[in-house]
Amino acid sequence: MGRYVIRRLLQMIPVFFGATLLIFLMVNVMGDPVAGLCGDRQCDPATAAQLKKEFGLDKPVWQQYLTYMGNVFTGDFGTAFNGQEVTELMANAFPVTIRLTLVAILFEIVIGISLGVLTGLKRGRPVDTTVLLLTLVVISVPTFVTGLLVQLLLGVKWKWIDPSVSSAATFDELIVPGLVLASVSLAYVTRLTRTSIAENKRADYVRTAVAKGLPRRRVITRHLLRNSLIPVVTFIGTDVGALMGGAIVTERIFNIHGVGYQLYQGILRQNTQTVVGFVTVLVLVFLVANLLVDLLYAVLDPRIRYA
Amino acid sequence: MPEMPEHHDEGSAIASTGAGGATDLAMSEAETLEKVPGGPDGTGPDKKARSLWSDAWHDLRRNPVFIISGLIILFLVVIAIWPQLIASGNPLDCDLSKAQEGSQPGHPFGFNGQGCDVYTRTVYGARASIQVGVLATLGVTLLGSVLGGLAGFYGGAWDGFLSRITDIFFAIPVVLGGLVLLSVVSNNSVWPVIGFMVLLGWPQISRIARGSVITAKQNDYVQAARALGASNSRMLLRHITPNAVAPVIVVATIALGTYISLEATLSFLGVGLKPPTVSWGIDISSASQYIRNAPHMLLWPAGALAVTVLAFIMLGDAVRDALDPKLR
């Protein structure tokens, strides 16, 4: 187990540096990092040259990347456009987005898996067909359309919720945005669980469990569900990164000041430090989530051994 | 569907391992809508054995999901090419004095914030979506299956290198990558958006193609071809490709729908297509500011977008049901 974790951690290193280098190149080579520093006007060439020298932007890109990464590992993510430390922005933004992602994942697990089990057990019945059609519709409507419609109906027409979330962004304010963020993945989780349950329902171990007289409830939760959850856990694990990145859209619609909001501002104002810093952390989150998923396999399926 | 040569007739068993080897979500999440009763009846002893492709086509023709989604897509393609067939107006012909007005005779969907006819703009918006979806899918499929297929066939260092590269691309959230990359592009044609999708989309197809080529190359007939002295290119083109292409086609069809959705999302965020290109994403984005007073400006393009994505996803589902013999 220990050796496996170490090997996986070593494998993460090139992926981490590759992904951050890719983003670094996109931002630095394709954009003009000093353009955002002179406000809406264009910088005059002398100022631009001075600024470039000051930030070390006249050096080759690989050197800039090494300097940046060196700073990141000492906890220095640079400063944002308004003089705030990027780490300070992160300290404010990440808790909000983590809350939002937690709400979304909770919805995926609770609603997605329950619907999946229900439809998988009742395959071919009207319940199954209805839920399947619903998931198709949810998958087809892009998240930003779902978000706008939910905001229009619940927030403006029926006044059940506040159309925009306050800066505190407490859990109860994030319920509806979390559901919107989760919607597409929720539909995928439902369909994955359904397929998996329907496949395993006919497995020998389920028949054995029923034959030895276990109550139906125990057969489903202890035997059927545990074996069917492996693909679902994989999906939810890889989805953590996608959810935090996809939060850009949801956070923009509901005016939530989280990671997506800061990233969007950083990109609009061409603030290299904010963008690269936030993306670096997101990539790390994604990699760690994937590692955790692989370790969870052993818990779900004891036949899997890590050497 | 192309007619396959005679010796691929035992194709269903072969492709069964190919389809099962692909671990993509779209593949492992098997079977969605119940198939029409009846199924394939060509297994009788007196009938000639059919290839996977003619068998799949036989199934598809009887699948209502395929027929409905196929008709919707055909309609969308026709109006994407000739929008003037059903919309006589000009989508850029706007009259500010009519801004936000509701439906009127001759203008069934009303007017948008700039006083343009919403019906005309919704019809013309199909072009950008279909163009981006189809071209991005073609690019992703070509690049991904060539790179992944060669990696799977030759293995070795190139395979290891390519797998690490795909890992790197998978670690970058798509919407985020789009925002970063496209925010610096000032060109307002569809090409930057398509280029971005190809750049970030090929690893998905490459993984599928690699997996199914590895499965296909272990088959006996490939070993037999090698023993008979067939060249690498002949084995790849004649024996492996026809038997490894099914999973790629399925994933590509479903991906087409998601690319259309992604284009609209990027346009909504202001980095995808830009005016004067007519796009559902742009129209939804500008309508969202007036959502309280004039929701009709948002509902029509959003509905068109949802139906389009739904049609492609349903088509992909139907094709998967037909091509995945495990479900038969």
ipTM of the complex as predicted:
0.81
Chain B residue closest in CA terms to A264: B179
Chain A residue closest in CA terms to B269: A249
Q: How far apart are CA B94 and CA B98, in angstroms?
A: 8
Q: How far apart are CA B20 and CA B280, in angstroms?
A: 37
Q: Both B265 and B246 in a single domain?
A: yes
Note whether B176 contacts A263, CB cutoff 8 Å. Answer: yes
pLDDT tens digits, A281-305: 888 888 888 888 888 877 777 776 6
Chain A residue closest in CA terms to B308: A140
Q: Decide: residue A29, CB within 10 A, 0-12 exposed, 13-18 middle, 19+ buried.
A: exposed
One-letter identity of residue A113:
I
pLDDT tens digits, A34-54: 665 665 566 677 777 777 776
- Predicted confidence at residue A81, as pLDDT, reads 63
Note whether B302 contacts A141, CB cutoff 8 Å. Answer: yes
Q: What are phi and psi of B24, to 5 degrees?
A: -65, 155
Query: Of B10, B13, B16, B15, which Cα lies nearest the Cα of B50?
Result: B10
pLDDT greater than 90 at residue A249? no
- The answer to whether the beta carbons of residues B234 and B183 sit under 8 Å apart is no
Note whether A192 contacts B172, CB cutoff 8 Å. Answer: no
pLDDT-based confidence at A20, cuts 50/70/90? Answer: confident
Mean pLDDT of B172-196: 81
Q: Both B41 and B161 in a single domain?
A: no
Chain A contacts of B173, Cβ < 8 Å? 241-242, 244-246, 282, 286
Q: Which residues of B221-247 are buried (b: 16+ CB within 10 A; e: fewer)?
A: bbeebeeeeeeeeebbeebbbbbbbbb
pLDDT greater than 80 at residue A214? yes
pLDDT tens digits, B79-98: 888 887 777 777 777 776 66
Q: Which helix or strand (DSSP H or E) is residue A161 part of? A: none
Note whether A144 contacts B184, CB cutoff 8 Å. Answer: no
Q: How far apart are CA A152 and CA A176, in angstroms?
A: 12
Q: Both B127 and B195 in a single domain?
A: yes
Q: How far apart are CA A81 and CA B225, in angstroms?
A: 63
User: Domain residues for B41?
Assistant: 1-45
Residues in chain B: 328
pLDDT greater than 50 at residue B126? yes
Note whether A30 contacts B184, CB cutoff 8 Å. Answer: yes
Q: How far apart are CA A149 and CA B288, in angstroms?
A: 10
Chain A residue closest in CA terms to B176: A245
Q: Decide: residue B327, CB within 10 A, 0-12 exposed, 13-18 middle, 19+ buried.
A: middle
Q: How far apart are CA B104 and CA B290, in angstroms?
A: 19
Query: Of B256, B143, B137, which Cα lies nearest the Cα of B207?
Result: B143
pLDDT tens digits, A141-186: 888 888 888 888 887 778 777 777 777 767 777 888 899 999 988 9
Of residues A19, A30, A270, nearest to B171 (C-beta): A19
pLDDT greater than 60 at residue B251? yes
- The answer to whether the beta carbons of residues B105 and B138 sit under 8 Å apart is no
Chain A contacts of B72, Cβ < 8 Å? none
Q: Express as a percent the part of chain A with pLDDT over 70.
A: 89
pLDDT greater than 70 at residue B12? no
CATH assignment at residue B228: 1.10.3720.10
Mean pLDDT of B258-277: 85
Chain B contacts of A132, Cβ < 8 Å? 32-33
pLDDT greater than 90 at residue B142? yes
pLDDT-based confidence at B140, cuts 50/70/90? Answer: very high
Average confidence score pLDDT of chain A = 81
Chain B residue closest in CA terms to A251: B269
Average confidence score pLDDT of chain B = 76
- Locus of tokens 């970030």: B200
Q: Both B297 and B270 in a single domain?
A: yes
CA distance A186 to chain B (A): 14
Q: Both B246 and B224 in a single domain?
A: yes
Q: Both B41 and B61 in a single domain?
A: no
Helices (H), chain B: 11-21, 25-28, 52-61, 64-81, 118-154, 156-170, 174-182, 191-217, 220-227, 232-234, 241-268, 280-287, 296-323
- Predicted confidence at residue B106, as pLDDT, reads 66
Note whether B29 contacts A241, CB cutoff 8 Å. Answer: no
Lowest-pLDDT range, A69-83, A89-103, A220-234, B192-206? Answer: A69-83
Q: Both B28 and B104 in a single domain?
A: no
pLDDT-based confidence at A55, cuts 50/70/90? Answer: low
User: Which positions ≥6 away from B289 have C-beta within 8 Å?
Assistant: B113
Count of the separate structural domains present in chain B: 2
Who wins on pLDDT, A31 or B233?
B233
Chain A contacts of B175, Cβ < 8 Å? 245-246, 248-249
pLDDT greater than 50 at residue B228? yes
pLDDT greater than 80 at residue A31? no
Chain B residue closest in CA terms to A147: B288
Rg over CA atoms, chain B: 23
Would you list the DSSP string of B19-72?
HHH---HHHHS---SPPPTT---TTSTTSPP--HHHHHHHHHHT-HHHHHHHHH
Q: How far apart are CA A201 and CA A204, in angstroms?
A: 9
Model pTM?
Answer: 0.80
Q: Which residues of B133-165 are buried (b: 16+ CB within 10 A; e: fewer)?
A: bbbbbebbbebbbebbbbbbbeeeeebeebeeb
In the DSSP assignment, the letter for residue B260 is H
- The answer to whether the beta carbons of residues A195 and B326 sit under 8 Å apart is no
Q: Both B180 and B290 in a single domain?
A: yes
Who wins on pLDDT, A33 or A13?
A13
Q: How far apart are CA A115 and CA A229, in angstroms?
A: 13
Residues in chain A: 307
pLDDT greater than 60 at residue B15? no
Q: Both B26 and B80 in a single domain?
A: no
Q: Please give the structure tokens belonging to residue A74.
A: 């000492």
pLDDT greater than 80 at residue A277? yes
- Predicted confidence at residue B317, as pLDDT, reads 82
- Predicted confidence at residue A190, as pLDDT, reads 92
pLDDT-based confidence at B9, cuts 50/70/90? Answer: very low
User: Which positions ≥6 away from A21 have C-beta within 8 Å?
Assistant: A65
Chain B contacts of A253, Cβ < 8 Å? 288
Q: Both B141 and B271 in a single domain?
A: yes
Of residues B265, B271, B313, nearest to A140 (C-beta): B313
Mean pLDDT of A263-267: 83
pLDDT greater than 80 at residue A211? yes
Q: Both B33 and B132 in a single domain?
A: no
Lowest-pLDDT range, A160-164, B220-224, B307-311? Answer: A160-164
Taking one residue from A and the other from B, the number of pairs with CB-CB distance under 8 angstroms is: 145
pLDDT-based confidence at A124, cuts 50/70/90? Answer: confident
Note whether A263 contacts B175, CB cutoff 8 Å. Answer: no
pLDDT greater than 80 at residue B1? no
CA distance B249 to chain A (A): 19
pLDDT-based confidence at B121, cuts 50/70/90? Answer: confident
Select from A97, A145, A192, A287 the residue whose CB has the most chain B CBs within 10 Å, as the one to mutate to test that interface: A145
Chain A contacts of B268, Cβ < 8 Å? 142, 144, 249
Mean pLDDT of A195-223: 87
Q: Both B41 and B98 in a single domain?
A: no
- Predicted confidence at residue B6, as pLDDT, reads 38
Chain A residue closest in CA terms to B196: A26
